[in-house]
C-alpha cells in the first residue's frame, strides 16, 4: 500500500465517504451516494488509554494527494474505429474507461432498523420482536433480494458497556451509520413509554468550557476535586478536552456493584457529578451535556432521519399502577425520585412524545394499554401481558411490513429513473468496488516519488521492446498503494491523456479470488472499451496464452491501454503463460507480487528492466502517515509519543506497520502511558498485541468466536450473519448472559467493529455489505491465533456449514438458509456453503451436493456466473478430487451459460462427445436436465467447439460477417435464402439437410432483398434494384432509377410491383418489376423529406415518416388507390420510425414515440390505419429498442433497454407478458407467421444470444449462444426452427426446437424448383 494509511478494501468510513464523494441524494430511503468528510473516532484498545474524542463541530478533510487532477467526465478523442459507448449509461462510462475521481453509486440491498429505548424499559417487547417478528420480516426482505439487520445497542447489554462509558458513543455511532445514505431503508423505532431514563455524565467536555465552570463553582473544594479526579485533560484531542475516566480506574471490582444499582458507589458519584455540572453550567449547555440519553437519541433520530414514513413510535401505557409505585419493578418502567414519580422526567416524556407525534405518521404509531403486574411485563405468568405482547407483534409486523415494501418500491423507482446501465450488474459492482479500493489507497498517499517517476518512464517509453512491469517487495511494503497511484496518475503522462485504465486489486472482492475471475472481468471491460465481442472474456487461462496477445493488438493509439493487476501472489496461478512477454506499442501492464511469486515471474520475464523493488519507508514518509491518521481523527500526540512512534517505524519501515502504530497513537491520551510499551518490532507481533487488547476487553472465548468466524469465512460476513452465528454459539450466549434460545445481542459485534475499525474493511457483493479483514497479514495472524489446529478448524467450519446449510435454523432464532427465497437466489449460501462443506465434510460431499447437483449449479450460474462455479471446481482440484471434464466443459460453455443457463442441456450434447464415457458428473447433470422437461434449441450440425477440439482451436479476436441477411420464403418452409454482400452471393439453403441448393454469385454489392415468391427476389445492389430468379439463377430485370445512399428503403406492393423511396426522399415510387418502369409516384409535398418506409405484407398499405415537419408525422398511403389517407401527428411528440412495424394485413402500425424536449423513456403507440385513430398507447419503464406486430397473433412485441421482452395484447391493450432473460438490449425481433412465436437478438453482437419465445404463453422455448458472434437470424414460418449465420463461417446453422419430451417436429422434405439444378452455381458477374 505505498506510503499510505489505507489498504485493500474500504472501511466503514470509505463506505460512508467515497461512495458519494461528489455524489447526489436520491429519494426517501433510497439515496445511494454520500459525501466526504466523515469524522473518525477510534475506541481505546488499552484499558488506561483515553478514548479518542472529537468536538462535534470539527471536521477535517483528508490530505490532498500528490497527483495530477483527473477530469470527472471522460473526454475521449473521437475515433470512428472505436466504440462511443453511447449505449452505456453516462455515469457508468467513466468506470469502463477506468476513471477513479468520479461520483460512485453503491447498490447494497440492506435494510436496517434501529431500536431506541431505555435500558430497562421495553425489554420483553423487544425480545418478543426478535423472537416472533423479525424472523418473518427477514424472510420478507430476502424474498425481494434484501437483507434486514436490526440494531439494538441496549438488547442484552452487560456491565462491560458501562465501565468505559462507551454505550452512549456506540449508540451514536450506530445511529450515524444508520443514517448513511447507501442503506435502502433506515427505520428509527422509538420505544418511548413513560420513562425517559437517567442523565449520564458527559464523556468529554471541551477544555475551555470545563475550566470556566471550575472557576465559577462557588461551592466546596471537594466538588472541584471530584471533577478533577474523574475528568482529566487530554491535550491530544483537537481542541483539547477533559475526558471522563473509566469507572474501574477509581472503583475496583466495579462489576459487583451493579448487582444493586441504587447502592452502587458509581451511581452515587455520577449523581454528584451531574448535580455539580447542572449547577455550574449555563442553561444553554444543559441540552448539550446534561440531556437524558434517550431524549438526545430520539431528537437526533427524528431530526436527522428526515422521513416520517421511516419513523415508528411504540408506546405502552400501564393501568392500575398508581398504588404500586413502591414495588421494586416499577423503577424499570418509570422515573422515580424517593419512591415517587419524577415530575421533571414526566414533563420531559410528555414533551418528547409531542415532538415524536408531530413527526411520526399515524399509520406508524402503535399505542397499547395493558394492566400492571408486580414483576413488570411478564407474558409467561400474566395472560393479559401475553395478549398484549401478541397484539404488539401483530401490529408491528403489519406496520414494518408496509414500510419495507414501500422502501423496496422506492428503490425500484429509483433504479428505473436511472435507466439501464448498459453493462451487467456484476461487472458494474466489480468496477465500483475496485475504484473505491483505488481511491482509498491514494487518498492518503505520501512520498515514493522515485517509484512514481519510474512508472511514468515505463508508460511513456516509445523505443525498444515493451515488457510488463513488476513491482515487488515484502509483506506490507506498500505495493498496492503504488499500483493505485499508477492508476491515478496515468492520464497525466504525455500521450496517455485518453487512455483506458483497467485495474484490479486481487483478493479484495469475491469476484477477484481466482485468476480466471480477474482476467474475465478485466477482459470484459477491455471488450466494452474497444468494441470487441464479449465472448472473448470467457476463455480459459490456457486459451488466453494464445488469445490475449491478439486481443491487445486491437488497442488503438488514440485510446492506449494500461492494465494494473495488484496482488498476483493472491491468485492460485502456477502457470504464467497467459501473461504476454512482449506488449504492443499502445499497451502497458503493471503487476505487483511478493517474493514467492517473484521467482516464477523471473523465469517468465527474465529482463531485469521489468522489475522494481519497493524501497522501505523513509523517516519522513512514516511521520507523514502518522500526521495523516492524526489529522483525520482530529488528534495529536505528545512529543515523547511521537518520538516513540518514529523510533518504532525506523525498525519496521513498512506502511502497514506505520499505519497500525499511528492508529494506536491516535487513541492515546496526553496523560496516558507511553506508547512504547504497546509497540512491537514486527507487523505480526503488533497485530498480536491488538488481538490481545481485544481479548482483555471482551474475553478470549468471545473474541475467539467473532474473529474465528470472520477468518474462516470465504469472503467476509454481514453483521446479520455474524449475529446469527453468535446466536448459534453457546459460549457467546453464556458470555452475554443470554438464554440458549435467545438472540445474541447485536451490540456485541457492533462494539467489536467499533474498536477494530482500522483493521476491518467493508465490501459490497451481490447487494450484501460484508465485513472482512483489511490486510491479508491480519487474516494470517488471526488464522494462526484462533484456528491454530485441525480440531479448531473443523469446529469453525462445521459451525459455518451448519449455519449456511440451514441446520442451525432448526434449533436457533436465525434465518433459514433456503436455496431460493421466493424467486430470489440466496447468493450468500451459494458463495459460502461449498467452501465450508469442503472443509467440514470433504471434497466428495461438496462434489455431490454442489457440482453434480443440477439445481445448485443452475442457481449458482444464474445468480453469480460461471466463474464462481469454476472457482468451486478449482477448490475441488486443490483438495485432490478430479473434476477436469466438468471444468473443461464449464470453461468452454462459460459465455453461453452466463447468458442463459437454459442452454445447459444443448451445450452438454454439443460439446461433450460420448457424454457418459467422458464424465459421469456431466452425464448426471444431463440426465437431470432431461428430467426437468425443458424445451431447448439444438443445432442440426456441429457448430460449437467440443472439449476434444479446444486445444486445436484458432482464436480470432475480430470477425467480418459473411452473411448480411437471412430471408424465409413465402410458402416453402424447407428452404431459406441468404445474402453475402462482400462475396456478392445469394444462396438458397435446404434447411433439413443444411445444404446449399442454389448459388448466385458475381452479383454487384448485394445489400438487401425482398422475396417476391419462392423463386424470385428484388435485390438492392448498391443503390439499384434488380430482380433475380433464384431457381434458374438469372437476372430478370433492372428497375429504373437509384435509391438514396443512406436510406435505400423499399418493399413489395404485389407480385408485379415494388415500392421504393426516391433518391431525393421526396417521393414514393411504384415500379413494375418486369419492365423496370415507373408505374406511379406519390409526392408528399414541397421540401418534405421521408426517412422511413414500411409496406404491409399484403402490399396495400405504405407508411412513411416525415423528418421535416415538426414534430415528425407518420404518412399513410393506400397503394391500390394511389392516395394519401392519413397524416398522423401527436403534438409535442415525434415518431422514431426506425423502430416501427406494420401488420401483414395493413390494419395496424406500431411505432416508437418520444416526447420532444423531455428527458424520459420513449414509448409505444399503435394506430388503426383503417380509421386513422390512435388505437393504443403503452409507456413501459424503459425505452424501447425494437418492436414488431402481428394482427394474426393479436399482439405487439417490444424489446426494452433493460433487456426484457414485453408482449402487449393488441385487443385488450394490457401487457400479456414481461419476459426477462436478455442480459443486454436487443434490437431485432422476428415473428413466426402465425404470430405466436418470435426470436429476439442483438445484431451488434454485444450479447451474442438468440432466444425463441412462445409469446402466447409467455415462455422461453430455447436459447442459443454460439462461440462466435451472430451476424443475422431468422425464424421459420411455423416457429419450430431458427436459422443463424455466425461470424465469417460459410455455412448457416439450423436450430431445431426440441420439446420437453425430447421430440422434434418432422418436416416432409421437398425439392427446390428444378430438380436438375440442385447444387448449381450461377456466375452473374457478366449480367451487370
- SS3 state of residue 927: helix
Cell numbers describing residue 732: 457467546
- CA dist., res. 174 & res. 621, Å (int): 34
419-474: pLDDT as tens digits: 888 898 899 999 999 999 999 999 888 888 999 999 999 999 988 889 999 999 99
> Which helix (DSSP H) or strand (DSSP E) does residue 704 occupy?
helix 700-712
pLDDT at 686: 95
Q: Report yes or no: 931 and 526 within 8 Å, Cβ to Cβ.
A: no
Structure confidence at residue 1233 (pLDDT): 92
Q: What is the pLDDT of residues 968-1020, one digit of tens each?
A: 999 999 999 999 999 999 999 999 999 999 999 999 999 999 999 999 999 99
Q: What's the 3-state SS for 1134-1194?
A: EEEEEEEEECCCCCEEEEEEEECCCCCCCEEEEEECCCCEEEEEECCCCCEEEEEEECCCC
pLDDT of residue 24: 37
Neighbours of 972 (CB within 10 A): 18
pLDDT at 741: 67
User: At 1306, is the secondary structure helix, strand, or coil?
Assistant: coil
Length of the chain: 1328
Task: State how far the Cα of 851 lies from the Cα of 837, in Å rounded to an integer.
Answer: 12
Nine-digit cell at 838? 469442503
Of 1033, 1081, 1035, nearest to 1057 (Cα)? 1081
Q: What is the distance between the alpha carbons of residues 87 and 83, in angstroms, rounded to a whole number?
A: 10
Quick one: 1007 exposed, middle or buried, by C-beta within 10 A (0-12, 13-18, 19+)? middle
Mean pLDDT across the stretch 731-736?
76
Asked if 859 and 868 touch (Cβ cutoff 8 Å), the reply is: no
β-sheet with 1237-1241: strand ranges across: 1228-1231, 1237-1241, 1250-1254, 1259-1264
Cα–Cα distances in Å, from 203 out to 200, 212, 274?
9, 17, 12
User: Cα(first)–Cα(last) distance of the chain, in Å?
Assistant: 70
Cα radius of gyration rounded to whole Å, the chain = 36
Strand partners, 1200: 1184
Give 910-961 pLDDT, tens digit per residue: 888 887 776 777 888 888 888 878 889 999 998 998 888 877 666 677 788 9
Give 792's pLDDT tier (boundaries 50, 70, 90).
confident
Closest alpha carbon to 45 in 703, 965, 555, 986: 703
Give the C-alpha separation, 262 to 206, whole Å: 30
Q: Which residues pair with 948 in a beta bridge?
A: none
List, in order, residues 6 or more apart from 714 with CB less than 8 Å away. Answer: 510, 831, 832, 835, 836
Q: How far apart are CA 194 and CA 315, in angstroms?
A: 8
- Whole-number Å distance between alpha carbons of 896 and 903: 7
* pLDDT for res 429: 92
Cis amide leading into 1004 (omega within 30)? no
CB atoms within 10 A of CB 647: 12
**pLDDT for the residue 219:** 63
DSSP state of 132: I
* Torsion angles phi and psi, residue 534, rounded to 5: -65, -20
Q: Which of 507, 431, 523 is nearest to 106 (CA)?
A: 431
CB distance 215 to 224 below 8 Å? no
CB 189 within 8 A of CB 314: yes
**Cα gap 1232→1234, rounded to integer Å:** 6
Residues near 357 by beta carbon (within 8 Å), at least 6 away in sequence: 313, 365
User: 1264-1321: per-residue pLDDT in tens?
Assistant: 999 888 999 999 999 999 999 998 899 999 999 998 777 888 889 999 999 999 999 9
As a whole number of angstroms, the distance between CA 1010 and CA 1033 comes to 16
Euclidean distance between CA atoms 212 and 910, whole angstroms: 85
- Which of the residue ranges 34-43, 540-549, 1107-1116, 1254-1263 would you say has the lowest mean pLDDT? 34-43
Q: What's the Cα-to-Cα distance from 251 to each of 243, 257, 265, rounded to whole Å?
A: 17, 9, 8
Q: Are 878 and 574 in contact (CB under 8 A)?
A: no
Nearest to 17 by CA among 3, 28, 6: 6
pTM of the full structure: 0.88
pLDDT for the residue 722: 95
Specify the 3-state DSSP secondary structure of 612: strand
Which residues are 102's β-sheet partners? none
What does the pLDDT look like over 248-267, one tens digit per residue?
Answer: 888 876 654 444 444 478 88
Asked if 535 contacts 1269 with a C-beta cutoff of 8 angstroms, the reply is yes
CA distance 947 to 648: 57
The predicted pLDDT at position 927 comes to: 85
Question: CA-to-CA distance for 857 and 850, rounded, in angstroms?
Answer: 7
Beta bridge partners of 1040: none
Residue 272 DSSP SS3? helix
Higher confidence at residue 637 or residue 1085?
A: 637
Q: Are 318 and 372 in contact (CB under 8 A)?
A: yes
Which ranges constitute the DSSP H helices of 808-865?
827-841, 843-846, 854-864
Report phi then psi at 379, rounded to 5.
Answer: -65, -20
User: Tens digits of per-residue pLDDT, 607-628?
Assistant: 888 899 999 999 999 999 999 9
Tell me the three state secondary structure of residue 77: coil
Question: How many Å apart are CA 1187 and CA 1198, to the nearest integer?
Answer: 4
Residue keyed to cell 418436416 = 1307
The per-residue pLDDT for 930 is 80
pLDDT by residue (tens digit) across 885-896? 888 899 999 999
Q: Which residues contact 1091 (CB under 8 A, 6 or more apart)?
A: 1047, 1065, 1104, 1105, 1106, 1107, 1112, 1137
Range 227-244 burial, b when 16+ CB lie within 10 A, else e = beebbbbbebbbebbbbb
Neighbours of 448 (CB within 10 A): 23
The pLDDT tens digits for 279-291 are: 888 888 988 899 8
**Mean per-residue pLDDT of the chain:** 86
Helix axes 639-651, 619-633, angle to 10 degrees: 130
Per-residue pLDDT at 70 exceeds 90: no
Which one, of 888, 61, 923, 17, lies nearest residue 516 by Cα? 888
How far is the C-alpha of 987 from the C-alpha of 550, rounded, in Å? 33
* Per-residue pLDDT reduced to its tens digit, 88-138: 888 899 999 999 988 887 778 999 999 999 888 999 999 999 999 999 999
Greater confidence (859 vs 12) lies with: 859
Among 606-620, 822-836, 1026-1040, name the one with the lowest average pLDDT: 606-620
Tell me which range, 321-335, 1004-1018, 1084-1098, is most confidently predicted by mean pLDDT: 1004-1018
CB 555 within 8 A of CB 584: yes
Confirm if 1186 and 1228 have CB atoms less than 8 A apart: yes
- Please report the pLDDT score of residue 43 as a whole number: 35
Q: What is the pLDDT of residue 953?
A: 67
d(CA 678, CA 279): 41
* pLDDT tens figures, 798-818: 999 999 999 999 989 899 999
Quote the pLDDT of residue 948.
84
Residues contacting residue 1218 through CB under 8 Å, at least 6 positions apart = 1204, 1205, 1206, 1207
Contact 1252, 937 (CB under 8 A): yes
Dmax (CA) of the chain: 124
Percent of the chain with pLDDT over 90: 58
Which grid coordinates are listed for 751? 462494539
Q: Which residue matches cell numbers 519507508?
A: 617
Amino acid at each position: 500500500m505505498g506510503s499510505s494509511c489505507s489498504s485493500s478494501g474500504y472501511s466503514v468510513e470509505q463506505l460512508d465517504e467515497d461512495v458519494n464523494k461528489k455524489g447526489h441524494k436520491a429519494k426517501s430511503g433510497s439515496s445511494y451516494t454520500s459525501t466526504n468528510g466523515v469524522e473518525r473516532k477510534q475506541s481505546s484498545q488499552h484499558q488506561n488509554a483515553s478514548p479518542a474524542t472529537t468536538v462535534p463541530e470539527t471536521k477535517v478533510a483528508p490530505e490532498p494527494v500528490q497527483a495530477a487532477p483527473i477530469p470527472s467526465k471522460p473526454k475521449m478523442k473521437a475515433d470512428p474505429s472505436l466504440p462511443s459507448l453511447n449505449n452505456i449509461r453516462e455515469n457508468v462510462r467513466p468506470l469502463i474507461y477506468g476513471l477513479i475521481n468520479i461520483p460512485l453509486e453503491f447498490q447494497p440491498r440492506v435494510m436496517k432498523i434501529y431500536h431506541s429505548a431505555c435500558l430497562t424499559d421495553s425489554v420483553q417487547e423487544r425480545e418478543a420482536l426478535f423472537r416472533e417478528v423479525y424472523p418473518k420480516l427477514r424472510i420478507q426482505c430476502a424474498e425481494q433480494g434484501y437483507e434486514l439487520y436490526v440494531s439494538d445497542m441496549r438488547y442484552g447489554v452487560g456491565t462491560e458497556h458501562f465501565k468505559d462509558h462507551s454505550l452512549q458513543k456506540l449508540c451514536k455511532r450506530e445511529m450515524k451509520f444508520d443514517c448513511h445514505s447507501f442503506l435502502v431503508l433506515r427505520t428509527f423505532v422509538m420505544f418511548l413509554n413513560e420513562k425517559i431514563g437517567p442523565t449520564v455524565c458527559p464523556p468529554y467536555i471541551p477544555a475551555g468550557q470545563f475550566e470556566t465552570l471550575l472557576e465559577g463553582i462557588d461551592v466546596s473544594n471537594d466538588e472541584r476535586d471530584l471533577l478533577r479526579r474523574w475528568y482529566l485533560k487530554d491535550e491530544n484531542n483537537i481542541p483539547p478536552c477533559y475526558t471522563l475516566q473509566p469507572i474501574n480506574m477509581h472503583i475496583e471490582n466495579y462489576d459487583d456493584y451493579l448487582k444493586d444499582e441504587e447502592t452502587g458507589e458509581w451511581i452515587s458519584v455520577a449523581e454528584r457529578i451531574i448535580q455539580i455540572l447542572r449547577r455550574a453550567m449555563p442553561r444553554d449547555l444543559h441540552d448539550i451535556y446534561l440531556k437524558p440519553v434517550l431524549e438526545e437519541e430520539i431528537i437526533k433520530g427524528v431530526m436527522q432521519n428526515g422521513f416520517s414514513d421511516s419513523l415508528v413510535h411504540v408506546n405502552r401505557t400501564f393501568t392500575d399502577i398508581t398504588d404500586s409505585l413502591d414495588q421494586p419493578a416499577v423503577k424499570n418502567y418509570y422515573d422515580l425520585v424517593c419512591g415517587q414519580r419524577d415530575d421533571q422526567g414526566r414533563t420531559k416524556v410528555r414533551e418528547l412524545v409531542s415532538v415524536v407525534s408531530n413527526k411520526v405518521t399515524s399509520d406508524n404509531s402503535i399505542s397499547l394499554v395493558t394492566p400492571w403486574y408486580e414483576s413488570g411485563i411478564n407474558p409467561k405468568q400474566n395472560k393479559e401481558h401475553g395478549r398484549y405482547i401478541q397484539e404488539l407483534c401483530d401490529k408491528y409486523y403489519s406496520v414494518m411490513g408496509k414500510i419495507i415494501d414501500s422502501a423496496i418500491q422506492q428503490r425500484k423507482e429509483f433504479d428505473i429513473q436511472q435507466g439501464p446501465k448498459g453493462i451487467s450488474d456484476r461487472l458494474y459492482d466489480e468496477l465500483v468496488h475496485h475504484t473505491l479500493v483505488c481511491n482509498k489507497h491514494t487518498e492518503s498517499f505520501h512520498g515514493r516519488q522515485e517509484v512514481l517517476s519510474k512508472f511514468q518512464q515505463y508508460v511513456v517509453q516509445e523505443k525498444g521492446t515493451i515488457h510488463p512491469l513488476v513491482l515487488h517487495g515484502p509483506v506490507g511494503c506498500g505495493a498496492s498503494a503504488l499500483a493505485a497511484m499508477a492508476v491515478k496518475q496515468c492520464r497525466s503522462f504525455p500521450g496517455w491523456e485518453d487512455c483506458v485504465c483497467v485495474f484490479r486489486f486481487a483478493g479484495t472482492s469475491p469476484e477477484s479470488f481466482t485468476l480466471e475471475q480477474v482476467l474475465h472481468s478485466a477482459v470484459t471491460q477491455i471488450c466494452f472499451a474497444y468494441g470487441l465481442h464479449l465472448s472473448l472474456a470467457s476463455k480459459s487461462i490456457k486459451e488466453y496464452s494464445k488469445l490475449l496477445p491478439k486481443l491487445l493488438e486491437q488497442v488503438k493509439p488514440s485510446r492506449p491501454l494500461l492494465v494494473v493487476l495488484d496482488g498476483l501472489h493472491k491468485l492460485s496461478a502456477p502457470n504464467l503463460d497467459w501473461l504476454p512477454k512482449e506488449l504492443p506499442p499502445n499497451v502497458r501492464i503493471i503487476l505487483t507480487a511478493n517474493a514467492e511469486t517473484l521467482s516464477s515471474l523471473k523465469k517468465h520475464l527474465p529482463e531485469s528492466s521489468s522489475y522494481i523493488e519497493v524501497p522501505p519507508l523513509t523517516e519522513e514518509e512514516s511521520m507523514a502517515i502518522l500526521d495523516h491518521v492524526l489529522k483525520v481523527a482530529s488528534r495529536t500526540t505528545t512529543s515523547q509519543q511521537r518520538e516513540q512512534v518514529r523510533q518504532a517505524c525506523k525498525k519496521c519501515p513498512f506502511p502497514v506497520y506505520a499505519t497500525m502504530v499511528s492508529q494506536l497513537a491516535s487513541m492515546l491520551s496526553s496523560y496516558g502511558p507511553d506508547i512504547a510499551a504497546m509497540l512491537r518490532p514486527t507487523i505480526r507481533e503488533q497485530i498480536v498485541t491488538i488481538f490481545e487488547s481485544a481479548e482483555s476487553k471482551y474475553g478470549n472465548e468471545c473474541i475467539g468466536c467473532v474473529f474465528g468466524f470472520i477468518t474462516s469465512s470465504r469472503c467476509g460476513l454481514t453483521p446479520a450473519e455474524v449475529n446469527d452465528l453468535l446466536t448459534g454459539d453457546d459460549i457467546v450466549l453464556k458470555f452475554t448472559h443470554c438464554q440458549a434460545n435467545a438472540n445474541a445481542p447485536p451490540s456485541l459485534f457492533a462494539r467489536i467493529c467499533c474498536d477494530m475499525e482500522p483493521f476491518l474493511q467493508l465490501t459490497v457483493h451481490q447487494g450484501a455489505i460484508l465485513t472482512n479483514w483489511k490486510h491479508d497479514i491480519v487474516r494470517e495472524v488471526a488464522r494462526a491465533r484462533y484456528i491454530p489446529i485441525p480440531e479448531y478448524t473443523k469446529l469453525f467450519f462445521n459451525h459455518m456449514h451448519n449455519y449456511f446449510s440451514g441446520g442451525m435454523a432448526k434449533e436457533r432464532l436465525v434465518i433459514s438458509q433456503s436455496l431460493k427465497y421466493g424467486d430470489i437466489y440466496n447468493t450468500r449460501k451459494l458463495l459460502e456453503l461449498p467452501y465450508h462443506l469442503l472443509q467440514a465434510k470433504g471434497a466428495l460431499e461438496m462434489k455431490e451436493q454442489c457440482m453434480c447437483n443440477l439445481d445448485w449449479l443452475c442457481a449458482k450460474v444464474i445468480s453469480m456466473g460461471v466463474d464462481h462455479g469454476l472457482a468451486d471446481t478449482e477448490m475441488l482440484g486443490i483438495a485432490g478430487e478430479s473434476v477436469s471434464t466438468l471444468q473443461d466443459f464449464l470453461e468452454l460453455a462459460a459465455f453461453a451459460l452466463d447468458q442463459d443457463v437454459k442452454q445447459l442441456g444443448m451445450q452438454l450434447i454439443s460439446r461433450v462427445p460420448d457424454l457418459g464415457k467422458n464424465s459421469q458428473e456431466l452425464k448426471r447433470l444431463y440426465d437431470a436436465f432431461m428430467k426437468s422437461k425443458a424445451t431447448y434449441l439444438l443445432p442440426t450440425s456441429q457448430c460449437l467447439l467440443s472439449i476434444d477440439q479446444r486445444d486445436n482451436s484458432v482464436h480470432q479476436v475480430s470477425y467480418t460477417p459473411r452473411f448480411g441477411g437471412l430471408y424465409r420464403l413465402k410458402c416453402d418452409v424447407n428452404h431459406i435464402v441468404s445474402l453475402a454482400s462482400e462475396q456478392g452471393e445469394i444462396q438458397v439453403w435446404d434447411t433439413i439437410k443444411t445444404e446449399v441448393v442454389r448459388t448466385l454469385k458475381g452479383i454487384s454489392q448485394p445489400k438487401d432483398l425482398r422475396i417476391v415468391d419462392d423463386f424470385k427476389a428484388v435485390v438492392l445492389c448498391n443503390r439499384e434494384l434488380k430482380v433475380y430468379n433464384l431457381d434458374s439463377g438469372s437476372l430478370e430485370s433492372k428497375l429504373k432509377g437509384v435509391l438514396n445512399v443512406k436510406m435505400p428503403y423499399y418493399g413489395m406492393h404485389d407480385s408485379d410491383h415494388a415500392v421504393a423511396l426516391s433518391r431525393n426522399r421526396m417521393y414514393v415510387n411504384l415500379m413494375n418489376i418486369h419492365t423496370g418502369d415507373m408505374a406511379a409516384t406519390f409526392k408528399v409535398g414541397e421540401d418534405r423529406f421521408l426517412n422511413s418506409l414500411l409496406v404491409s405484407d399484403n402490399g396495400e398499405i405504405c407508411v412513411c415518416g416525415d423528418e421535416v415537419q415538426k414534430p415528425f408525422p407518420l404518412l399513410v398511403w393506400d397503394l391500390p388507390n394511389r392516395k394519401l389517407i392519413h397524416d398522423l401527428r401527436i403534438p409535442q411528440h415525434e415518431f422514431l420510425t426506425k423502430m416501427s412495424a406494420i401488420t401483414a394485413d395493413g390494419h395496424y402500425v406500431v411505432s416508437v414515440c418520444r416526447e420532444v424536449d423531455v428527458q424520459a423513456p420513449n414509448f409505444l403507440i399503435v394506430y388503426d390505419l383503417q380509421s386513422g385513430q390512435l388505437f393504443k398507447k403503452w409507456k413501459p419503464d424503459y425505452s424501447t429498442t425494437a418492436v414488431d406486430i402481428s394482427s394474426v397473433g393479436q399482439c405487439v412485441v417490444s424489446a426494452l433497454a433493460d433487456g426484457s421482452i414485453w408482449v402487449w395484447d393488441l385487443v385488450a391493450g394490457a401487457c400479456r407478458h414481461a419476459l426477462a432473460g436478455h442480459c443486454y438490449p436487443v434490437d431485432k425481433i422476428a415473428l413466426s407467421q402465425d404470430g405466436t412465436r418470435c426470436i429476439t437478438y442483438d445484431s451488434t453482437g454485444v450479447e451474442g444470444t438468440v432466444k425463441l419465445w412462445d409469446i402466447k404463453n409467455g415462455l422461453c422455448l430455447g436459447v442459443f449462444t454460439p462461440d462466435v458472434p451472430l451476424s443475422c437470424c431468422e425464424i421459420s414460418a411455423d416457429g419450430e426452427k431458427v436459422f443463424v449465420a455466425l461470424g465469417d463461417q460459410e455455412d448457416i446453422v439450423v436450430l431445431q426446437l426440441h420439446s420437453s419430451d425430447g421430440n422434434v417436429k418432422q418436416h416432409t422434405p421437398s425439392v427446390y424448383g428444378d430438380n436438375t439444378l440442385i447444387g448449381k452455381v450461377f456466375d452473374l458477374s457478366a449480367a451487370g
